[in-house]
Amino acid sequence: MESISLLLFKEGFTIQPLADGVSPQYYGIDENLVWRNGISVPAAVNHNNYQFDKNRIDLLRLVITILSQPLFYAPDEYLLVLNPFSTYFSNKRSKNCKNLFVSLINIIVSYDVSGYGVPYLSAIDQGGEQEMLVTLAIHLLLILIEYKPPSLDNLNFLIRGGHISLNKVFQYFMMQSGALKNNNEGPLQVDQRIQE
């Protein structure tokens, strides 16, 4: 995961080479690494550099593919199973996490929907990499924003939301955390124990 994170901002692959003596900031927002101007970065070095868009598109597709693990879960397990990939890419302590979020947002915000001023030009010109990059950036941003790591708060939300398989969800979560020891409490006692 860290290799993919570093590859997203690799010199000569997804960004232009850095100037001599410039060291990249992996844990902060670096205008030398961010893909477009916009929020938090008024002057990104790579703003008008579209030669790396093909590589960026391939990497965003890769990240979206590895984040698709929850598609294979039952609805009961969705908020209960830890997805290590989503956890890594949404963790502020991960390398290039902030640069990735700022790049995704700035790609979306800086996209010119009217193109050359001709309405519906995208219906004629289907080969634009810029449009594909914006589409993938929107998908990835929504996936990362929507992800919630499993926690007792998520379980409490499911219980209070009237989840249809309340006992099953609670027992599964507690078995995973090692807190349930063959205790056959009903939903009311479970709800009371969570409040304490």
What are the pLDDT digits (tens) for 114-168?
656 665 555 555 557 888 898 999 999 999 888 877 766 666 665 565 444 455 5
How far apart are the C-alpha atoms of 46 and 33, rounded to whole Å?
7
pTM assigned to the model: 0.70
Write the CB contacts of 154 (distance below 8 Å, at least 6 apart in sequence).
79, 80, 148
Decide if 144 contacts 101 (C-beta within 8 A): yes
Query: Is residue 58 pLDDT above 90, yes or no?
Result: yes
What are the pLDDT digits (tens) for 82-125?
788 888 888 878 888 889 999 999 888 887 766 566 655 555 55
The stretches of the chain forming alpha helices (DSSP H) are 2-7, 53-66, 84-89, 97-110, 121-124, 129-146, 152-160, 166-177, 187-195
Query: Is residue 23 pLDDT above 80, yes or no?
Result: yes
> Residue 38's beta-bridge partner residues?
41
pLDDT at position 86? 86
